[in-house]
Amino acid sequence: MTRPAVFIAGTDTGIGKTHAACALLHALRQAGRDAAGMKPVASGCIETPDGLRNDDALALQAAGPAGLAYAAINPVSLREPLSPHLAAARDGVTITLPPLTRAFEALGAAHTTVVVEGVGGWMVPLAPGLLASELVQAWRLPVIMVVGLRLGCINHALLSARAILADGCELLGWIGNRIDPAMDAVDDNLATLRALLPAPCLGVLAHGVAPDRAAAQLAGALGAMG
């Protein structure tokens, strides 16, 4: 079955969700799919002449179709590099689900595949009473989990996978990302993750490889998405 959209979840913040999402976008587009990226909520944005801009959302924009407006990719942009509910409070912004859903549906209507990148980890609060995971539930998205390969990643990955499944979401698989090139026993850690995680490994991204070249390492993710 061809998946019209997928959610890229992370085991933590700073583990390479954007890198994996951009590599997946390149892989999809190289395979002939009209794929676009989305970062529904981004904190840590900078002021530019064109408005608030976030590096992760800009990377998704660069990896996607030419001419796609920034606002279509990142409908909620927040200044402070904080948890979204805190950054939104400082900006006087209230994050609610309906506007995000409208933005997601608009992208889905214009493109055959949407790669939605989360913010932080699975259970990051966006607003009082609204967790990032609730976007996935509301939009019924399958999940690809990015595991940042560093000390502690096994525990983080197993807890995240358990939470994703407990929330009733589909875990298509996981991508390992070599964020620490000096990590000890990386092959042993990968073998442990393959043995213990309840979903297949869809690829392992090497350290320091640009997303367009890293796309070749995601054949498993393409297969899972159909």
Residue range 17-33: average pLDDT? 97
CA angle, corner 220, sides to 198 and 210, nearest 5? 115
Q: How far apart are CA 80 and CA 92, in angstroms?
A: 12
Closest residue by Cα to residue 21 from 10, 30, 32, 12? 10
Residue 3: pLDDT band by 50, 70, 90 thresholds? confident
Whether the CB-CB separation of 149 and 20 falls below 8 Å is answered with no
Angle between helices 186-196 and 153-166 (to 10 degrees): 20
Residue range 102-116: average pLDDT? 97
Residue range 28-49: average pLDDT? 97
Higher pLDDT, 51 or 1: 51
Residue range 90-113: average pLDDT? 97
Q: What are phi and psi of 166, to 5 degrees?
A: -65, -30
- Looking at the predicted structure, is the pLDDT value of residue 1 above 80? no
Given 19, 26, 39, 85, which residue is catalytic? 39
Q: How far apart are CA 107 and CA 36, in angstroms?
A: 7
Q: How far apart are CA 81 and CA 25, in angstroms?
A: 25
Give the number of C-alpha atoms closer than 13 A to the C-alpha of residue 166, restricted to the C-beta side.
8
3-state secondary structure of 60: helix
- Looking at the predicted structure, is the pLDDT value of residue 123 above 90? yes
Residue range 80-92: average pLDDT? 97
pLDDT in tens, 165-221: 999 999 999 999 999 999 999 999 999 999 999 999 999 999 999 999 999 999 989
Residue range 33-42: average pLDDT? 98
39 is catalytic: yes
Give the H/E segment covering residue 25. helix 17-30
Mean pLDDT taken over the chain: 96
Domain map (residue ranges) of the chain: 5-225
pTM of the model: 0.96
pLDDT in tens, 5-16: 999 999 999 999
- Looking at the predicted structure, is the pLDDT value of residue 226 above 90? no
pLDDT for the residue numbered 2: 72
* CATH number assigned to the domain with residue range 5-225, chosen from the 4 options 3.30.460.20, 3.40.50.300, 3.40.50.11540, 2.60.120.10: 3.40.50.300
Q: How far apart are CA 205 and CA 110, in angstroms?
A: 29
pLDDT in tens, 52-73: 999 999 999 999 999 999 999 9
